[in-house]
């Protein structure tokens, strides 16, 4: 199949090189996630680091960025299209900006609210450069209004109690990789959603779907739900797509899939027994489908409503055309990073563990931080460093304050979305503690 498609390289290349335009009104979908959003292991979430910190930042937001968003973005993001950063409910708008990292207080000019206008000329209301400057001025005002009030969240100082670097993220996620193929994992929950498509969760699995009452939609429908994922590839090649799906019946086993300027593929999945990995094909006859992608470019993958009820949790793109989605060692949805704490605690068998997975194009997701130890250890204020640097947005685990024992090892039940730096092939993590002492 790969060989035959290469004879059509010239035409497919043109399709593969097309970049799908963003469908948002200032903010990019599925961009960097801000760690002021905490999600517990049951899936419930809270967007407060502390009530005081939130109140101060919310008030500053109301006096700076929010009025511009309400004036310029309300037609799309006031209620009909996520993210809802122009909502009439300021709490919803604030959470939409914070939780999807539309602002970068470390480097305000790098904020997505700014770059979306300056670099991508997206739905400007005048001259894009001046519009970007207008947003930047308000982001700087927001930052200045909260200066000195955010406490530890604004503190980038790293203590001397810091572990050595972990292995690279790509090595952790794919220890058996020989570099011959590219595998990219995308989390469906990072999608930009258009109703009636929604993000939901059951039994610990998060997925996107259109509920059963949403009806069947064809490609002419203007009301079909969609979920859009952003990604990029480093290598130019042919790629297959696999999704982790639950299609409970023959009346809920098909969606449309579009990627990299291709036409829509009518993907008939077939019924599954719970969640299963399935390859994206085309037409009810399940014709094999490959996508030609050009390296060093960004793309979008769109999942479009056809039959309701299809639940999609994860997506894998791979240039390995013999890829076996059942080989979970290759899927690498999640890995555990472990670093020794012996140098910091004096306890030879003490280790810090944390689970990591790629969340979207811009970020990783961290869960289940814990310490393995034979003796009690006092832990306070954990900072996660990427390539030796601490980003104040990564504040979730600053609330840690406990004595860890052999039987009570978990530091936090919250998850944290961690912004990428150089990418998984280069990024390494280390961990800094304000306090890490063996209890005598």
Domains in the chain: boundaries: 31-152, 169-173+334-438, 176-331
pLDDT at 152 over 60: no
- Range 188-193 average pLDDT: 85
Measured CA to CA, the distance from residue 168 to residue 420 in angstroms comes to 12
Q: What pLDDT sits at residue 431? A: 95
Question: Strands, DSSP E only, in 234-307?
Answer: 237-246, 254-259, 265-268, 276-279, 281-282, 287-288, 291-293, 297-305
First to last CA, the chain: 65
Is the confidence at residue 23, as pLDDT, over 50?
Answer: no
Q: How many CB atoms lie within 10 A of CB 288?
A: 13
Residue 6 phi/psi, 5-degree rounding, is -65, -25
Burial of 47 per CB tally in 10 Å (0-12, 13-18, 19+): middle
Instruction: Answer whether residue 43 shows pLDDT above 60.
Output: no
Selected residue with higher pLDDT from 156 and 48: 156
Q: Are 255 and 305 in contact (CB under 8 A)?
A: yes
Q: What is the CATH number of domain 176-331?
A: 2.60.120.260
Phi, psi of 137 (to 5 degrees): -60, -40
CA-only gyration radius of the chain, Å:
22
Does the pLDDT value for residue 239 go beyond 70? yes
pLDDT in tens, 105-144: 777 888 889 888 888 777 788 888 888 888 998 988 888 8
What pLDDT, on a 0 to 100 scale, did the predictor assign at position 93? 87
Task: Count CB-CB contacts under 10 A for residue 397.
Answer: 22
**What are the structure tokens assigned to 373, written together?**
């130890």
pLDDT for the residue 211:
93
Residue found under tokens 């680091």? 49
Mean pLDDT calculated for residue range 52-72:
84
Q: pLDDT per residue over 171-180, tens digit each?
A: 787 655 544 5
Q: Which of 44, 102, 95, 38 is nearest to 367 (CA)?
A: 38
- Which residues lie across from 192 on neighbouring strands? 228
pLDDT score recorded for residue 100: 64
Euclidean distance between CA atoms 381 and 112, whole angstroms: 28
CA nearest neighbour of 379 among 439, 337, 428: 439
More confident residue, 295 or 4: 295
Q: pLDDT-based confidence at 327, cuts 50/70/90?
A: low
79 by Cβ neighbours in 10 Å (0-12 / 13-18 / 19+) ranks as middle
- Other C-beta atoms closer than 10 Å to the C-beta of 348 total 9
pTM, to two decimals: 0.47
Going 50 to 56 to 60 to 62, the CA torsion angle's sign is positive
- Of the chain, the percentage scoring pLDDT greater than 90 comes to 35
Model confidence at 50, in pLDDT bands (50, 70, 90)?
very low
pLDDT digits (tens, 9 = 90+) for 261-310: 889 999 999 999 999 999 999 999 999 998 988 887 888 999 999 999 99
Q: 98 vs 305, which has greater pLDDT?
A: 305
């Amino acid at each position: 199949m790969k060989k035959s498609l290469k004879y059509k390289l010239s035409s497919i290349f043109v399709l593969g090189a097309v970049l799908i335009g963003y469908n948002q009104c200032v903010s990019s979908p599925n961009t960097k996630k801000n760690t002021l959003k905490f999600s517990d292991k049951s899936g419930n979430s809270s967007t407060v680091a502390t009530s005081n910190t939130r109140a101060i930042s919310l008030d500053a937001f109301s006096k700076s960025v929010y009025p511009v968003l309400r004036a310029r973005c309300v037609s799309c993001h006031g209620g009909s299209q996520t993210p809802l950063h122009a909502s009439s409910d300021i709490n919803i708008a604030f959470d939409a900006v914070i939780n999807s990292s539309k602002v970068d207080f470390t480097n305000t000019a790098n904020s997505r609210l700014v770059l979306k206008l300056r670099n991508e000329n997206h739905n400007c209301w005048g001259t894009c450069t001046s519009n970007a400057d207008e947003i930047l001025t308000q982001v700087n005002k927001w930052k200045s209004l909260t200066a000195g009030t955010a406490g530890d969240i604004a503190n980038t100082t790293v203590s001397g109690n810091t572990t050595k670097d972990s292995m690279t993220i790509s090595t952790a996620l794919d220890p058996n990789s020989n570099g011959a193929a590219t595998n990219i994992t995308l989390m469906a929950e990072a999608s930009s959603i258009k109703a009636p498509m929604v993000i939901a969760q059951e039994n610990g699995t998060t997925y996107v779907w259109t509920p059963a009452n949403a009806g069947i939609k064809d490609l002419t429908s203007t009301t079909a739900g969609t979920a859009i994922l952003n990604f990029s590839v480093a290598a130019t090649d042919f790629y297959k797509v696999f999704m982790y799906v639950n299609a409970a019946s023959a009346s809920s086993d098909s969606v449309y899939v579009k990627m990299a300027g291709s036409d829509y593929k009518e993907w008939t999945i077939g019924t599954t027994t719970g969640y299963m990995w399935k390859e994206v094909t085309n037409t009810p006859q399940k014709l094999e489908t490959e996508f030609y992608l050009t390296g060093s470019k960004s793309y979008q993958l769109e999942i479009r409503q056809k039959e309701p009820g299809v639940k999609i949790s994860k997506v894998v793109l791979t240039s390995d055309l013999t890829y076996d989605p059942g080989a979970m060692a290759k899927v690498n949805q999640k890995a555990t990073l472990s670093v020794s704490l012996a140098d910091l605690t004096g306890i030879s068998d003490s280790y810090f563990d944390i689970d990591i997975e790629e969340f979207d194009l811009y970020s990783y997701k961290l869960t289940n931080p814990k310490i393995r130890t034979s003796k009690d250890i006092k832990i306070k204020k954990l900072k996660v460093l990427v390539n030796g640097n601490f980003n104040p947005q990564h504040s979730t685990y600053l609330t840690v304050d406990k004595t860890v024992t052999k039987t009570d090892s978990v530091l936090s039940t919250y998850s944290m979305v961690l912004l990428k730096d150089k990418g998984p092939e280069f990024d390494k993590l280390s961990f800094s503690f304000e306090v890490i002492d063996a209890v005598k």
